[in-house]
Every structure is written in C-alpha cells, then in structure tokens.
Amino acid sequence: MQIAFLFYDGMTALDAIGPHEILCRVPGAKVQRVAKKAGAVRTDSAGLELIADYALADVSYVDILVIPGAGSATTLRDSPEILAWIRSIHATTQWTTSVCTGSLILGAAGLLSGLRATTHWAVMDRLSAWDVEPVSERIVESGKIITAAGVSAGIDMALILAAKIAGPQVAQTLQLGIEYDPEPPFDTGSAKKANPKIRDALLARMSAQFENIK
C-alpha cells in the first residue's frame, strides 16, 4: 500500500504530520513524501522545514494521496506542475484526500467539480470557485475523494481512512497509540461554537490570504 503525502513550500506542517503519524503506522503501508523536487520544503509553520524524499517525477501511482493545506493561496497560483501531477496520480488512487485548504488544491486541479467537499471553515466559500458544493462537516466523502476540515481534522480523517483500509481494530490500535482522547481546553474549536469576535477577526485575516484564488 503506497501512501503519498504531497509536500510543498507554504504548506501547514500539522495538516500533513497529523495524518502521517497515523497512516505511516498502518501495517504494510509504504509512505512517500513527494514534492516538486526532493529535499527541504519550507512550511508556513514558522519556517519549519520538512524533507521530501521524492520528486513528483519519481512517483507515478499511489494507493492513497494526502494533500495538506496552506495558510495562503500563493501555492495555488504557482503550482501548475503540482496540479498536473495530482490529476495523473488521482487516476491511480484508491483514495484521494485533502486536509484543510488542501481541498482548494483538489478544486484547482478540477477533481472536485460538481462534488461535495469541505475545507477550513474560514475559506469555505472559496470552494465555489471550482463548482464545488461546500459542506460544513468535519469529514466529507465524495466517491473516492475524502476532504477534511481545518488542520486538526486530518487526524480524524486518517483514523477513518485507517479503518477503511485495515479495519477498525487497526484504527483503534493507532488511535490508542497516539493516545487520542482529546481534551481541548476550550469548546471553541469550530466556527459555530467560537466567540463571534474571535471568529470574525480570524475570518477577515484568512479571507485576505485567499482572495482571488482563481
């Protein structure tokens, strides 16, 4: 089982590393970190650099593709090569997945046209740029495409995916392995629950980063 994580400059580290921590431990999984070229990729998480082991050209099929999101749309504008690779890899996958604004990349690649999908709550309306039906749920399945909401939702998605590909016992073992029995200190992790002032300030900031994405 080949599982590829797309890495790119500007990506949000946790979008990838959350699901990676789970999926890399599925028995029989072979994980590939793939970027335009192999080597260091600079995340938008205070410049943390992650190493990609493979270039796009090295990888021509995978069973599962995971596309992390980014804190701004710059990547979307600069990535025709990545979008072409995603389209060709998607033809080979069993599951094509995204975390957070990674679904905007799937949208830009033309893979979500006419489908339901989710993304980070603050850019939900941007999905319509590619004829995608935005859905405010944590995980949305549309055929073989699974999209997850903002950043931390990738952890939930990966556990659901682990259950699909390896069964619930394996998924529960992985969940217990990362002691995922969350106790968020505040009950304000979604747009519906958050303090409106906090929500609106964050919405304004993130919207500005994703203006004119198309």
CB 147, min distance to its own copies, A: 13
Amino acid at 214: K
In the residue annotation, 100 being an active-site residue is answered as yes
Q: What is the dihedral of CA 145, 151, 156, 161, to 10 degrees?
A: 30
Amino acid at 183: E
- The DSSP result for 23-57, as a single string, is HTTSTT-EEEEEESSSEEEE-TTTT-EEEE-EEGG
Residues found near its own copies in the complex (CB under 8 A): 12-14, 17-18, 20-21, 24-25, 29, 31, 33, 40, 45-46, 48-51, 100, 120-121, 138-139, 149-153, 155-156, 159-160, 163, 168-169, 171-173, 175-186, 188-191, 193-195, 198-199, 201-202
Q: What gap in Å lies between CA 55 and CA 208, rounded to an integer?
A: 31
Q: Is 191 helix (H, G, I), strand (E, B) or coil?
A: coil
Contact (CB, 8 A) for 98 and 147: yes
Q: Which of 137, 102, 134 is nearest to 117 (CA)?
A: 134
What angle in degrees, to the nearest 10, is found between the helix axes of 153-166 and 168-177?
140
User: Closest distance between its own copies and the C-beta of residue 155, in Å?
Assistant: 7
Q: Which of 16, 100, 148, 206 does the annotation list as catalytic? A: 100
Closer residue to its own copies (CB): 41 or 108:
41
Residue nearer to its own copies on the CB measure, 143 or 184: 184
Of the two residues 46 and 91, which places its CB atom closer to its own copies in the complex? Answer: 46
Say if residues 131 and 138 touch (Cβ distance below 8 Å). Answer: no
By C-beta, is 29 or 129 nearer to its own copies?
29
For the bound state, the minimum distance from the C-beta of residue 110 to its own copies, rounded and expressed in Å, comes to: 25
We find the least distance from the C-beta atom of residue 214 to its own copies, in angstroms, to be 23
Q: Which is nearer to its own copies, 74 or 88 (CB)?
A: 74
Nearest approach, Cβ of 141 to its own copies (angstroms)? 13
What are the catalytic residues?
100
